[in-house]
Amino acid sequence: MMLQVQNVSCRYGGFTAVDNVSLSLQSKEILGIAGTNGAGKSTLFAAIAGQQTASSGKILFQGTDVSRLPPYLRAQNGLVRTFQVPREFKSLTVHENLMVAAPNAQGEQLYAALITTSGRMRREQALAEKADQILGFLNLAKVRDTQASKLSGGQKKLLELGRVLMLDPRCILLDEPFAGVNPVLIEEICQHVHTLNAQGIAFIVIEHHLQALKSLAKRLIVMDRGTVLAEGDPQSVLDDPRVQQAYMGGVA
Ligand SMILES: Nc1ncnc2c1ncn2[C@@H]1O[C@H](COP(=O)(O)OP(=O)(O)OP(=O)(O)O)[C@@H](O)[C@H]1O
Ligand SMILES: [Mg+2]
């Protein structure tokens, strides 16, 4: 089992945004999460990845309780997320954005003082090559030296994916990877997810674009007002009358 979310709730003040949610993700699975605006999907991701501390419940990652770990330690363990609104450094180039996403070894200051300049340069060189490999894989090599602020919406989503790939993840949470992305790039992003999944990376994908979600995930969860409304294979979930009603007027 890659990930187990056990009875997780998240509150903003007195408001319960995620209400006793449980789910699990198998190694090598792609799980889809859909749901109405404000259903608590992004908050659930924040609880899993650590930006938000669950007010109750547990997050187990590869069998270990990570509920109290800060985000960077969860990321070091291989559990990473992207954000609904991409968080690139606008004034940096695409390649530089990947470089700064690389993990800092703990105790970097001491480490930096101890190793030789040439050792540091070798590490930088290795990271630079890794960043270039990822850019090649994501078809972003052509914008390697472009300022991130100049990218299209779809390219920013790809850059967001590239940044988390620098962390050698085992599990990636994608928050609306297709929002504001043209159909050609949607297809391309789907292909990248399938390729990475075939290499052993598990995914949870939040998405309103249900056709794209269905082509990615064999299992779907629909959230509504903080809770899991339905779960199962995509078509039966989308055909579920409670889901249809939550979306007020049909979805598929
Ligand atoms: N920082 C915050 N402070 C207070 N309330 C918040 C905060 N972030 C989100 N909320 C509220 O929590 C609820 C869940 O928000 P969340 O962003 O998790 O929903 P979502 O399912 O991702 O929605 P969307 O599809 O619009 O992205 C919403 O009612 C939202 O207004
Ligand atoms: Mg959201």
Which pLDDT value is given to residue 223?
A: 95
Q: Which atom of ligand 1 is nearest to the CA of 12?
A: 4
The verdict on residue 122 lying in a domain is yes
Locate the ligand 1 atom nearest the alpha carbon of residue 13 and give its number. 4
Q: Please, which pLDDT band fits residue 106 given cuts at 50, 70 and 90?
A: very low
Mutate to test the pocket of ligand 1, among 15, 208, 227 (most ligand atoms within 8 A of CB): 15
- pLDDT, position 247: 77
Please give, one letter per residue, the 3-state secondary structure of 6-49. Answer: EEEEEEECCEEEEEEEEEEECCCCEEEEEECCCCCHHHHHHHHH
Nearest to 221 by CA among 28, 15, 39: 39
Least confident of 15-24, 93-102, 179-188, 241-250: 241-250
Q: Read off the pLDDT of residues 167-225 as tens digits, 9 standing for 90 and up.
A: 999 999 999 999 999 999 999 999 999 999 999 999 999 998 888 899 999 999 999 99
Which CATH number does the domain housing residue 232 bear? Answer: 3.40.50.300
Task: Name the band, by pLDDT with cuts 50, 70 and 90, for residue 19.
Answer: very high
pLDDT at 252: 46
pLDDT of residue 250: 52
Ligand closest to CA 37:
1
Tally of structural domains, the chain: 1
The answer as to whether 251 is a domain residue is no
pLDDT tens readout for residues 62-102 = 999 999 999 999 999 999 999 999 899 999 999 999 999 98
* Domain-embedded: residue 161: yes
Question: Is 178 among the domain residues?
Answer: yes
The mean of the pLDDT values for the chain is 92
Instruction: Report yes or no on 252 lying in a domain.
Output: no
> Which domain does 94 fall in, by range?
3-246
Q: Whole-angstrom Cα distance, residue 177 to residue 156?
A: 10
Q: Ligand 1 pocket test: pick from 9, 16, 42 the residue with the most ligand atoms within 8 Å of its Cβ.
A: 42
